[in-house]
Structure 1
Amino acid sequence: MNPTPYAAATPRALTAVSTDGQSLHVEEYGPEDAPAVVLAHGWTCSTDFWAAQVRDLATDHRVVVYDQRGHGATPPAAGPSGYSTRALADDLEAVLTATLAPGEKAVLAGHSMGGMTLMAAAGRPALRAHAAAVLLCSTGPSRLVPEALVVPLRAGALRTRITGAILGARAPLGPVTPVSKAILKYATMGPGSAPERVAECARIVHACPRAVRVAWSQVLAGLDLEAGVRELDVPAVVVAGTADRLTPPVHARALADALPRCVGLDVLPGVGHMTPVEAPEAVTSRLRELTAAYLRGADGPRTDTTPTPETTEEEAV
């Protein structure tokens, strides 16, 4: 029987330690001397979220994934102060320092809160030292609640208030059921998402502890990383889906305009918020393009004078 698209090889597991002593579960895949890719997952997800990218890229890349605080195999923060955009940046720095040699470059990718992690760390020494290029998937720097389209109402105070209450709800998600999968699909995925991909996302999201989900929701509700976007001065590609209700394409277009060196904007027709799972080939292809353009390839290292990939946008009419 062939492995599922979400099965990955056995990882090399290690622990990174953040500035405040928080331990972080890290996994490495692929040849140790191959071009490096570091992947940061989003809110309520885990390293499993990147399984399709790991399976593909680990054949000829060194792929690093890690669990954000309280997600997957990383324990929760010690208290409320451990949940912040500063903590996101601290943790990414710890992972980069633990997995990359001094001066070693990597392509960094973040989905949703993972993309916000890259923005939060934009001015940090470790990111400046190690980031060759970045991929920002289904993310935004601010106004997440006012711009969200989960509630089918006209934009305004009422929609913002209801959306905030839903995203910050303290109710347990409970077991994965047909009803919960339908709700998750509506809120986070495109209408044409395959049932097995909906089920996989539901399994991952429902595994996130309630207290962790609520703590990070409070951070995201007040997010303002606009300054970090302007500091993210490396080649960047932005990917979004036209059916994304959580971070609709208005965020992607604003990011593309604000990033100092945006080299691509892909708006994928019919795709929702869970781009790496819903459109794994598109996300993986962009990662391969970035590593080929900005990391050492068969013909030697690429430099900042190398022509960048052409900016493209794919969108339903």
Structure 2
Amino acid sequence: MSTATLPADCVLPAAEQEYRIRSADGHWIHAAAYGPEGAPLVVLAHGWTCSTRFWAPVIHQLLPDHRVVAYDQRGHGRSDIPATPAGYSTVKLADDLEAVLGHVVPAGARAVLAGHSMGGMTIMAAADRAEVADRTAATVLVSTGPGDLLAELNVLPAAVRGGLRRFLGRQLLQSRLPLGPVTPVTRAALKYATMGPATPADRVEANVRIVHACPAGVRYGWSRVLGTLDLYDRLAKLAAPTAVVVGTHDRLTPPVHSHRMLAALPAPEGLLELPGVGHMSPVERPAEVAGEIRRLVDSYLLTTRKVAE
């Protein structure tokens, strides 16, 4: 399938501005801004094995009345790849988010943050950072979870339980092997694991191309972090109003995680469950995901600005 046959909204629009941002450990992060300068600011953090390209459908939905900044998590897209295993941790994710916000959010301003999968975990990991909190008006956690990822994984048959389930789940997620070229088999497998059964073929193709572009070493490095993830204690520190979005057919971070997060968040803004949708909800149902982001912008950015004026 050629690039021309992909959905138009799965191709990133031209960036208004690009950034190369230095994180706390000297690591360089790539980010890009879309939409009019001075419009309400939204910052997007993508998930494991993805890149800024993943957010293209949501960015199209938010243009032209938002300023949207998307950045490549370290190792992904155009951001630098960590040189050692020490470059992979939730602390590094939080460092990178703090660096991005410090660079793109003007002094005294705030943004609505949205994170998908590992991007949501990034927001949770940074919940105790004062510099992040000061620049955050509200957050949207999309298809994500705070921990117990292997225990709740629904990729394996329900009959596989307990320690065997965790072992096999770890073997699936922590493979060092490159994914190789896109084939009918890899396309079908990735659709089963990450998308809803009714997802159109062209959106499956867009998703497959993004995931296959992630280097095998980066995929493995972050899989080890995700396999032992525990951010439950950070949820109580995420003070910003926070909405949660999940697909009912999400096999990687099923709805049980969303319910746990809502119960622990200090300022929950509700749960949006998308029927028939898998893990890649921003690609599968971008209008609904963008709608939640827009709702929080309207409630916590535009209202604040009007009061200040």
TM-score above 0.5 = yes
Question: Structure 2: how far apart are the matches of 1:25 and 1:291?
Answer: 24
Q: Which is helix-richer, 1 or 2?
A: 2
Instruction: Provide, for residues 128-167 of structure 1, a one-character-per-residue CA deviation record: whole Å limited to 9, x for no partner.
Output: 1111000000000010011101111333111111011100
Query: Paired residue for 2:295, among 284, 289, 312?
Result: 289
**Corresponding residue for 1:5?**
9
Q: Which amino acid aligns with 1:90?
A: D
Unaligned runs of 5+ in 2: none
Give the equivalent residue in structure 1 for 2:205: 199
Name the aligned partner's letter for residue 117 of structure 1.
T
Match of 1:150 in 2: 155
Residues 271, 19 of structure 1: alpha-carbon distance in 2 compared, 3 angstrom cutoff = same
Structure 1 residue 127 corresponds to structure 2 residue 132: yes
Given the alignment, which residue of 276, 282, 286 partners 2:282?
276
Map residues 1-317 of structure 1 onto 2, 5 A cutoff. Answer: 4-11=8-15, 12-154=17-159, 155-296=161-302, 300-301=306-307
* Counterpart code for 2:10: Y
Q: CA deviation at 1:65?
A: 0.3
Which stretch of the first structure deviates more once superposed, 52-61 or 200-209? 52-61
The DSSP-based 3-state class of the residue aligned with 1:69 is coil
Tell me, in whole angstroms, the C-alpha distance in 1 between the residues paired with 2:115 and 2:31. 15
Equivalent AA in structure 1 for residue 142 of structure 2: C
| Secondary structure class of the residue paired with 1:73 | coil
| DSSP-derived class of the 1:146 partner | helix
Q: Secondary structure of the equivalent of 1:271?
A: coil
Distance 1:240 1:187 in 2: 15
Return the alpha-carbon distance in structure 2 between the equivalents of residues 206 and 184 of structure 1. Answer: 10
Structure 2 counterpart of 1:52, which letter? P
Q: Classify 1:235/1:298 alpha carbon distance in 2 versus 1 (closer, same or farther; 3 Å).
A: closer
1:158-204 superposed Cα distances (whole Å, 9 cap, x missing partner):
11110111000111100111111100001111111110110000000
CA distance in 2, matches of 1:36, 1:196: 30
Runs of 4+ in 1 over 4 A off after TM superposition: none
| Structure 1 position 297, deviation (Å) | 5.4
Superposed CA RMSD in Å reads 1.7
Tell me the SS of whatever aligns to 2:8. Answer: coil
Kindly state the Cα deviation for residue 58 of structure 1 after the two structures are TM-superposed.
2.5
Give the Cα–Cα distance (whole angstroms) in 2 for the partners of residues 147 and 117 of structure 1: 19
Structure 1 spans left out of the alignment, 5+ residues? 303-317
CA separation in 2, counterparts of 1:168 and 1:8?
A: 29
Residue range with higher mean Cα deviation, 128-137 or 2-11: 2-11
Matches of 1:40 and 1:300, distance apart in 2: 27
Q: How far off is 1:7 after superposition?
A: 2.6
Q: CA–CA distance in 1 between the matches of 2:131 and 2:58?
A: 24
AA paired with 2:291?
A: S
Cα distance in structure 2, aligned partners of 1:105 and 1:4: 30
Alpha-carbon separation, structure 2, partners of 1:220 and 1:153: 21
Secondary structure of the 2:9 match is coil
- What is the distance in 1 between the residues matched to 2:295 and 2:207? 26
Aligned residue-pair number: 303
Please say which of residues 71-80 and 204-213 is displaced more in the overlay: 71-80
Whichever residue aligns with residue 261 of structure 1, its letter is A
Q: What secondary structure does 1:283 align onto? A: helix
